[in-house]
Amino acid sequence: MEKVDQEFVEYIVKSIVDHPEDVSTERVLDEMGVLITLKVNDEDLGKVIGKRGQTINSIRTVLRAMGMKSKARINLKLEEPNRPMEEKPETPVEE
């Protein structure tokens, strides 16, 4: 089942986003199972997550079913974009 899960994620995500050229995945195998990290364009983040996370959770459900067939645990992580932290305004100290 090697890389079939990764190819599945890429195929599904590329078919729903506006910027399929920016979709990339990384597959890591360790003692806990398989971890697939998904990167998408910032503008497509909402489409991949879906309302209340339904889209990303549906993809995860299918991956779990794929993993059950090969007795492997498959997890999907959506990498968050690099956004600068908002600076908090300093509160004036009263004397």
Residue 4 CB partners (closer than 8 Å, separation 6+): 66
In the numeric block, which tokens belong to residue 9?
A: 């994620």
| Helical pair 54-69 and 4-16, crossing angle rounded to 10 deg | 160
- Show the domains of the chain with their CATH numbers: 4-78 (3.30.300.20)
| CA–CA distance, 38 with 73 (Å, rounded to integer) | 17
Would you give per-residue pLDDT tens digits along the chain (95 residues)? Answer: 568 999 999 999 999 999 999 999 999 998 889 999 999 999 999 999 999 999 999 999 999 999 998 888 999 999 987 655 555 555 556 65
Residue 6 CB partners (closer than 8 Å, separation 6+): 25, 27, 36
* Ramachandran assignment for 35, one of left (phi > 0), alpha (psi -120 to 50 degrees), beta (any other): beta
Q: How big is the CA angle at 2 (ends 35 and 74), to the nearest 5 degrees? A: 30
| CA–CA distance, 73 with 5 (Å, rounded to integer) | 11
